[in-house]
A = this chain, B = another copy of it.
Amino acid sequence: MNEAGDALEPRELRAWMAFLAAGHLVDHEVERQLKRDGGLSHAEFEVLVRLRSAAGRRLRMSDLAREVMVSKSRLTYQVTQLERAGLVKRTGCPSDRRSVWAELTDDGAAALDRVRPGHRRVVREALVDVLTPEEIDLLGAALGRVADRLRER
């Protein structure tokens, strides 16, 4: 019934526009809180979060880039900034001398602790608390599938 290039149906269009708008607006809130409470961009925050939960609090640059979904050159810049702020440090990896470990410092962990409560509050207020538990589950399942599909390419 719908060819690939046809206009979206109203229901589809509504979903697409809501998806776009919610993405923009929520991210804007998140960005604002992180900047205000810790001087961090959202991407920088994500870097710290991933490092925190990694074994030995460290990851190789390219794995980190993959997880945070940023380009390699962008990550290089961000890690440089974080390093300058003392929140992360770089170490050479002995087994593969091409790669570089980015490692969370104690200051980095502390910075994370400082902003995380506010961050959670924003995620709650902007997204979680606005949805019913059923919606939460369905959102997780549906958008999880969307993300998985796009990752496996």
Contact = CB atoms under 8 A, between A and B. Distances in A.
Given A8-B123, A19-B143, A124-B4, A130 B149 contact: yes
Interface residues of A, dominant DSSP: helix
A110 interface: no
Interface footprint category on A: 35 or more
A98 interface: no
Nearest to A144: B18
Contact of A11 (B123, B140, B151): B140
Contact of A133 (B11, B136, B145): B11
A85 interface: no
20 contacts: A4-B121, A5-B116, A5-B120, A7-B120, A8-B128, A11-B133, A15-B127, A15-B131, A18-B147, A19-B127, A21-B143, A25-B69, A28-B150, A126-B150, A130-B142, A130-B145, A131-B145, A138-B138, A138-B142, A139-B139
